[in-house]
Structure 1
Amino acid sequence: MMRLIAGVAQHRGVRSAVRYLRLVLAWVLGLVLLGTTATALGVAVYPQVTGGQALAVLSGSMEPGIPVGGMVFTQPVDPDEVAVGQVITFVRPGGAGELVTHRVVGVDTTGLEPAFTTRGDANDVADLEPVPASAVVGTPRWVVPELGRQAAVLHSPKGLGALVLLVCAVVALAPGRPSLQESADPAGDAERPDEVRPPLRLV
């Protein structure tokens, strides 16, 4: 009888440990899902709220200050206030709409509009084409390392698939109501060895 009681207690301990582990995993995966969702929402909403842009960094021309795989959050800037030493984001002249973030190393005010000579911090020479003031779209406000890489993965088919699996895992691991089998007493009469049953009466 004592062996049976010990076995039941051990079974309950294992079941409690498994339930606790599932709860911890559900919380961890839930936090990951919450962080991923908040990041994606923030990147999508930022341009609408601030008028700036959220841009993934694809090259190392501005390292180490702006690393590859990071994300640059820009804010609008008045081209007339741009000075030497300031970092700007602009549409590359002749680049079919390509956006570039480089540092201003020279300002030419002799034309109809200011023109800026730019250079990446990691580059040895300045950019070939001067940047007209009309091509300036903003200046960096924040730089978040690795966020651009994560955003690219999230928007890929594999990233979306992983997100769906993450949601399914959170739902599967989330604690719920115990089943009828779990609610029943697995020990049965074994947990009440001292119970005295009334004798049968024969009439």
Structure 2
Amino acid sequence: MAWVGIPLLIFTARLIDVSLATLRHILIFRGIKRVAPLIGFVEALIWVIAITQIMQNLHSPFYYFAWAFGFAAGTYCGILIEEKLALGYQLVRIITNRRSPELTQELVADGFGLTVVQAKGSQGPVDILFVAVRRRRIDALIRIIQRHDPTIFFTIEDVRSVAAGVFGSALPKTPSGPPRASSLPQVASEVASEPAEETVPASSPPA
């Protein structure tokens, strides 16, 4: 049974250590430094076990296939694990040529921090909304955007690190349910409000 047990051991070892390696590289890219060395230690230990079995059994091609399949499966599993953990932050850039106060108020009411910039696009004036959000809340943000306007244009970028901001945490709610207007950041009211136009009475013609 060694021809089954040893390849299975090699496959399992490679599956685990490559999954850890993929996760470690992603953590390093996202600036999460404390966990990466611990993952690297376990990864190296498992790799030594796997390579030892290969070096002791160079005569069988089953061991080579077990090594290769374990590497491929470990890469895929590492990506799935990282997606489930949803670590880090992302920057969502929303560009709309429509009036954006309704979308701004809905995002702020749901706990998202944002910055609104007025700009000019190829088809006229636009509003650009910058939203830094935790990755675990990115789906909720996209649902709000598409509910407001299914054709709206937005991009999503990875962010290495963030500091001092509002990143999609829930706002305190009143007993009736929705957040109070006083608890919303001032940016929403500033964007939503427009300067009132003064009505100048027409002067009567001289007698």
Q: What's the TM-score, normalizing by structure 1?
A: 0.22
Q: Which has the larger radius of gyration?
A: 1
TM-score by length of 2: 0.22
Whichever structure has more helix as a proportion of its residues is: 2
